[in-house]
Amino acid sequence: MNVDVIIPIFNQSKYLEFALDSSLRQGILRKNIYLIDDCSSDLPDKIAAKYKINYLKTEKNSGPAAARNLGIKSSSSEFIAFLDADDAMLPGRILSSLSSILETGAAMVCGNYRFWVNRAAITAPFYKREVEISYQNMINNNYVASGSVLLKRDILNDIGLFNEEYLLAEDYDLWLRVVEKHKINYIHEPLYLYNRDTINKNSLTSNPNNLQLLLDNVKKIKEESLNRRK
């Protein structure tokens, strides 16, 4: 049972080997790892060549939705897992996620996570209590961390890919479209490490000018979802 790992990257090469090593420790084959370069300037292609994984590059800097979509279209396994290039999988993430899907028939699995700082200091799990990934909960707040997601490829034929119109909250839009029609399981055990070093330095949301765009996108995404439910 194969899983493709989709890793978008934009100028995060200093962390990339940590992310790749964590994926390989899951038992993922190199041929099933897809690194999607969104026009970085720090040469992630050299690391991809060193690791002998799939390397693709967007034609222009287009944001995480376009990068992930390119990876999805270029891969073919029954299951897809997402990971950001500056984060890492915790041991057992893929096995736990596959077991959850196979045991319950869910279309998608997500889970808890920990922050890490300087690759050493690992915090307590982010969510203290278990989370129910229901539509009602998701329309109020995005409880799905992209780096913890594993889903069945065939549901994307039903709901579509990431909406490339959104440079921010593109993941929230897709998770809402999933939960509108399909079951999402939540695993309370932390599945991945979220890099706290880069949250305030390099993310799109770290730019104050993008805060209003994020809020506008979330509002539009919620309105569109509610309209689909009518």
What are the b/e assignments for 43-64, b being 16+ CB within 10 Å?
Answer: ebbebbeebebbbbbbeeebbb
Domain boundaries in the chain?
3-228
Work out the average pLDDT over 165-186: 97
DSSP 90: P
User: 3.40.50.10490, 3.40.50.300, 1.10.1740.10, 3.90.550.10: which CATH number matches 3-228?
Assistant: 3.90.550.10
Q: What pLDDT score was predicted for residue 181?
A: 97
* Cβ–Cβ under 8 Å, residues 212 and 167: no
Distances (CA, A) of 11 to 2, 14, 37, 115, 199: 28, 8, 9, 20, 13
Q: Are 186 and 143 in contact (CB under 8 A)?
A: yes
67-126 pLDDT, tens digit each: 999 999 999 999 999 999 999 999 999 999 999 999 999 999 999 999 988 766 577 899
Q: Taking phi first (over 0 means left), then psi (-120 to 50 degrees means alpha), and beta for anything else, what does residue 218 get?
A: alpha
Helix (H), strand (E) at residue 183: none
Residue pointed to by tokens 């899951």:
26
pLDDT digits (tens, 9 = 90+) for 16-61: 999 999 999 999 999 999 999 999 999 999 999 999 999 999 999 9
Q: Model pTM?
A: 0.94
- The predicted pLDDT at position 204 comes to 57
Average pLDDT of the chain, as a whole number? 94
DSSP category for residue 229: T
